[in-house]
Amino acid sequence: MFDYFFVTLHPISQHTRLSTSIMDKKTILHILFLLAISAGLYYITQSFFMSLGILMLLLLIDSFLRQYDSKRRREWEERRRQQIEEQNQNKNKQ
């Protein structure tokens, strides 16, 4: 269960090939952002378990948004690839 959760939260996708230094910076910023949110939640609620529950919900929403974005990006890339192939075929016919 947790393996799936951590895999979906990791910012490196199979279809995106960027330099590792950029991904490392994004990962570090994401972790720092989550730590700041968790510290703020603990300060506001004064309850560790309530803060943990809210943070888990935020992580779940983040995971779903990343999956949605990845799916939309793959669909867009596929449509764009098909458009380019059609344009190349039309050029070859002329």
Return the minimum-mean-pLDDT range out of 7-11, 19-23, 39-43, 86-90: 7-11
Per-residue pLDDT at 35: 84
- Confidence (pTM): 0.57
Question: What's the mean per-residue pLDDT of the chain?
Answer: 79
Residue 52, burial from CB neighbour count under 10 angstroms (0-12, 13-18, 19+): middle
With cut-offs at 50, 70 and 90, classify the pLDDT of residue 51.
confident
Sign of the dihedral through C-alpha 88, 89, 91, 92 = positive
Per-residue pLDDT at 5: 47
